[in-house]
Chains A and B, each alone.
Chain A
Amino acid sequence: MAAAGKRERRSLWIAAIPMALLALSCVYPIYFAVNNALKTSKGYILDRFGLVTDPTVQNFADAWGRARFSEYFVNSVLVTAGAVGLLLLLSSLVGFALAMLRFPGRRFVFVAILAALMIPIQVVLVPFYRTVEGLGLLNTRVGLVLAYTAFFLPFSIYLMTAFYRGLPRELLEAARMDGARFLEVWWHVMLPLGRPALLTLGILNTLYCWNDVLISLLVLQDRRTLMVGIAALRGSTRPTCRSSPPGSCWRRRPSSSSTSSSRGASSAASPWAP
């Protein structure tokens, strides 16, 4: 028995070796990116993989200023903050209602929301774009906030409902006995109790919104969020791109390139206007 335990301990030490390599692979690309971002164009050409010898922050300044990243950054921050705030507000309200309140069709509403979760953006790409356009929300940050909220809401509602489901309904009844209105119960009882779930949701939704490319590419064509801006810089690691005048590498709205006919060509990094 003791021998078995010892053998397992040894196996764990052996397993730690590939696991450490995997961990290293998780860190390496980040090192690679930061290391190269600090190099000058010359330093990058001379030694692509070595440790930076002539650190410079010029690339960051270029990205921030010339490549309009300051503008993209503001867009990303505003849109993410708006969407996450709206998502937390709506999902905690709806989660409270679905988990605690009694009303006809409750189960149906819950299943319908889960079903809406199954409609991915890809499936509604064309009409979704037309809808946004028709509502006059194209190229507006409000439009993107609403779009994000609509697409990440079902999952948020699901999580909040499941969380509030675990709380006793007596909480609601006791507060009601004391004369609290439903909105007050939500504000004073449900919101504070829901903090762990709301925190998780806040983090997840921030990641989703901040990292999204596709929805942003559709809704905010003129103004761009950070991730779309970075995607448009594909191949920017080539030094020629760094030293060329602004505008030649970063076309703001290359709608003309959408006529290029080759499928799967490298020019895919351009927003399109149907």
Chain B
Amino acid sequence: MARRTIGQAERRFAALVLLPAALLLLVFRIVPLLWGFALSFTNANGLGSADWVGLANYQAVVADEAFQDALVNTVLVLSTLPVWIMLPMLLALLIHQGVPGGRIFRAVYFLPAVLSSVIVGSIFNVVLRFDGSLNAALKAVGLHPVDWLGNGWTALLSLVTVYLWSTFGMSVLIFMAGLSTINQEMLEAAKLDGARFWARLRFIVIPTLRPIIEFVAVVTTIGLLTGMFGLIYVLTAGGPGTATTLPEFLIWLEQGKLNRPGYAAAISAVLFVLMAGVAWAQVRIMSRNADL
């Protein structure tokens, strides 16, 4: 009897604590998600009237050139994923191996990660402009200046590079944390047996870091799919043309400029499906790491 009341108190407290959190998530995330899904089948135009139009929005989305461009841009951006993992890992490894000045590097690399994407965008707006400091530096060493933000290819490249610049410090930090869990004795023993840097990397470091690599890969992918809004907004506004328009920015444009919530909701649904695979991987990795 006493045991039972203890269990009841436990449950009551848990329910009481979970309620506000669940309510917030329900109101601001779950309901909007379902609502948006419903909206994507209507011709809602923001004026109140909305009729069921079936899959018309989705057909329009697929046929929309801006959306096709955004999709191609997404694929291009995602294809840079290996760089996002290997560069921070390499930097973390070098710091771990005792590169001269390593402690300073670790601190300084984190600096851009603290800055808002708006600040980063504003600064690089001036740096990358045709008469900006990067071109001034290029001219100083006798190279031709490039209109970094004015050409399609270089604009996308600039956008991705700036985003990489502003987030790699965080990944370096995560890798450093992972490296500190490596068995130092095993590493020393391998060194004594004559294993070179690359051999130690392949047979000891990378296997140990596997969960961290997975984690960084998933977090980075989600960042690439949904974290670049602020930077696009300030640095390129999706242009020139649609060269730097990603789905997340397109949704915002459709909704805000052209006032087509039904259409925007359809793009949202497509983006959600794109993300579902990544999301599933992340849920698996995270619930495994939390050991619940």
Residues of A within 8 A of B (CB): 1, 4-5, 8, 11-13, 15-16, 19-20, 22-23, 25-27, 29-30, 32-33, 36, 48-49, 90, 93-94, 96-99, 101-104, 106-107, 109-111, 113-132, 135, 146-147, 149-151, 153-154, 157-158, 161-162, 165, 176, 182-183, 207, 210-214, 227-228, 230-231, 233-235, 237, 258, 260-261, 263-269, 272, 274
22 pairs, CB–CB < 8 Å, chain A vs chain B: A8-B97, A19-B94, A32-B127, A32-B133, A90-B21, A106-B14, A106-B292, A114-B283, A118-B278, A120-B225, A123-B226, A126-B39, A127-B31, A127-B265, A131-B28, A207-B114, A212-B230, A213-B116, A230-B116, A261-B257, A263-B66, A264-B241
A86 → chain B closest CB, angstroms: 9
Are A23 and B105 closer than 8 Å at their CB atoms? yes
Q: Chain B interface: which size bin? A: 35 or more
Q: At the interface, yes or no: B206 with Cβ under 8 Å from chain A?
A: no
Known: A94-B17, A94-B21, A116-B29. A261 touches B118 (CB 8 A): no
Are A265 and B239 closer than 8 Å at their CB atoms? yes
Q: Which residues of B contact A146 (CB under 8 A)?
A: 24, 28
Residues 278-292 of B at the A interface (beta carbon under 8 Å): 278-279, 282-283, 286-287, 289-292
Are B11 and A158 closer than 8 Å at their CB atoms? no
Q: Which residues of A contact B276 (CB under 8 A)?
A: 118
Of A16, A27, A147, A274, the residue contacting B99 (CB under 8 A) is A16
Q: At the interface, yes or no: B52 with Cβ under 8 Å from chain A?
A: no
Query: Which of B29, B122, B127, B136 has the most A CB atoms < 10 Å from its CB?
Result: B29
Q: Which residue of B lies closest to A272 (CB)?
A: B256
Q: At the interface, yes or no: B83 with Cβ under 8 Å from chain A?
A: no
Of B46, B241, B283, the residue contacting A118 (CB under 8 A) is B283
Q: Which residues of A contact B287 (CB under 8 A)?
A: 110-111, 114
Known: A182-B9, A265-B237, A274-B261. A109 touches B283 (CB 8 A): no
Are A126 and B36 closer than 8 Å at their CB atoms? yes
